[in-house]
Structure 1
Amino acid sequence: MKWLNYFLNFNIPFYIYKLNMNDSIIYSRNIKINQPMIILYGMIYIIKNFHNHKKTTIAILDAENILYINHMKEKNCHYKIIAISKSFLMSFQWKNLININENLNHIIFKELIKLYTRTNKKYEMMNIIMSHKYIKNRVIQLLLFCARDCGNINKTYVTISHYISQNTIGLLSGSTRTTINRILKKLTYNKYIEYSIDKKITINIYYFYMPNIKKQSLNIK
């Protein structure tokens, strides 16, 4: 992993966090954490929890994304970082990068800009998902984005590399497990998706994109 190599080779202090599936990190105004974290491996999502019990997912991040929640000013909410799969995050302090030699400083900050650019696209992706009125469309968009960003391609199939539970899909799309179960069953019945032996979702690109295929209506809102 290039980030580990950068930090080890140039003696830049860092700390590795390991999150197992469903482990979480909470950011609130009472917790003064302002260290950025680079996702080395795995997949996490960020939920904004309001004190009136409403919540919304604001991003799904994976390897080569950066997590940085700093100086929270909102009094009525907190952020929760939840691991979809086993994940490794590397935290560091900005001051330690500033103190390294100028040539390395330039290289690392150039790479960090790339991380921020990739990460910003993930926030935009979540906005697109949540802009759909119907839950079925949110779920389909979510699966397609995950397949694009972390999928293993095999001819006309793409398998999402991380196991994503129905509960997690419900949280990500703003729905319930019952509704998600019904949508996934319909998608499976119509051959849009299937499950691998280890319960990972496989998307049948042939059914999604071939224009000459007569697609059945899902009839799910």
Structure 2
Amino acid sequence: MTWIHLLSKSHIPFSVYKMYKGDSLIQPKTIKNTHILVILQGILSMYHVLNKTEVICNSIVYTGHIITSNDSDYTYNYISLRTSYIISLPITTTDLNQYIDHKIFNQILYNYNNTLKQNIDINRIFIHKNIKFRLIQIIIILSMKFGIIHNQKIMIPLIIHKIDLANILGGNINTINKILKDLDDQKIVTYAKRNIYVHNIVFLKYYCYLLR
């Protein structure tokens, strides 16, 4: 892996953590970040904790994205949607001056840029009021990033519960059930055994365009 190779070669201390599906990583608003956290492999949903009862899904981040937040006004909760691996490296001034070289700096900038672009794309989805539009857009993103061809369909190899989709999209499970049934009846998307199958990605994108 690029990160482990670069850090080992530069003798930079780092740690790797394993998150199982459903595990949480919480970044409290009162604690200053002293490490950069990068997703080596996996996918996490990112939640913005407003208060004890109000939580909003801000983004979905995956392999290569940086999940360290510099926003000290809010708490963020990252929930792993499948087994994921996170690498942690120090960002204190002393550590950076002592160890960092241009390759690592470029890698950090590259990952930050990808994370920012992903967050912008996801936010554009979440500002849309139509839950069906949100769901289809998320399915398209997951298909493009994780999809594999299986029996002439695109299978998203992630075990995703309907309640996970409801929480991510800000809807309820009844709404998700109705949307998935409608997509299945039209032979566009099938949800079976907690996996999502896309029958025609081109038609799915066109269907999403019609919902705008």
Normalised by the shorter chain, which TM-score bucket?
Answer: 0.7 to 0.9
Report the alpha carbon displacement of residue 115 of structure 1 after superposing the two structures with TM. Answer: 0.6
Question: Out of 187, 190, 194, which is 2:190 matched to?
Answer: 194
Counterpart position of 2:62 = 62
Deviations 1:14-55 (A, max 9, x none): 111211111001122344443111100110011012116222
| 8 Å Cα contact 2:140-2:205 kept in structure 1 | no
Counterpart position of 2:104 = 108
Question: 1:26 is aligned with what amino acid?
Answer: I
Is 2:83 the counterpart of 1:83?
no
Structure 1 residues 42-53: aligned runs within 5 Å: 42-51=42-51, 53=53
Report the alpha carbon displacement of residue 122 of structure 1 after superposing the two structures with TM. Answer: 1.1
Unpaired runs of at least 5, structure 1? none
Percent sequence identity over aligned pairs: 26
Counterpart position of 1:152 = 148
SS at match of 1:164: coil
Counterpart position of 1:15 = 15
* TM-score relative to the length of structure 2: 0.87
Report the alpha carbon displacement of residue 158 of structure 1 after superposing the two structures with TM. Answer: 2.1
* TM-score relative to the length of structure 1: 0.83
Q: How many residues align?
A: 206
Is 2:203 the counterpart of 1:208?
yes
Report the CA distance shift for 1:110/1:33 in structure 2 as closer, same or farther (over 3 A): closer
Deviations 1:174-221 (A, max 9, x none): 01122112211221221111246x63211122672597xxx8xxx9xx
Report the CA distance shift for 1:135/1:71 in structure 2 as closer, same or farther (over 3 A): closer
SS at match of 1:162: coil
Counterpart position of 1:135 = 131
Counterpart position of 1:99 = 98
SS at match of 1:132: coil
Report the CA distance shift for 1:124/1:155 in structure 2 as closer, same or farther (over 3 A): farther
In structure 2, C-alpha distance between the alignment counterparts of 1:210 and 1:24, rounded to whole Å: 32
Question: 2:120 is aligned with what amino acid?
Answer: E
Question: 2:43 is aligned with what amino acid?
Answer: M
Report the CA distance shift for 1:60/1:209 in structure 2 as closer, same or farther (over 3 A): closer
| 8 Å Cα contact 1:156-1:205 kept in structure 2 | no
SS at match of 1:79: strand
Report the CA distance shift for 1:142/1:71 in structure 2 as closer, same or farther (over 3 A): closer
Report the alpha carbon displacement of residue 114 of structure 1 after superposing the two structures with TM. Answer: 1.1
Structure 1 residues 166-205: aligned runs within 5 Å: 166-195=162-191, 199-205=194-200
Question: 1:200 is aligned with what amino acid?
Answer: N
| 8 Å Cα contact 2:14-2:87 kept in structure 1 | yes
Unpaired runs of at least 5, structure 2? none
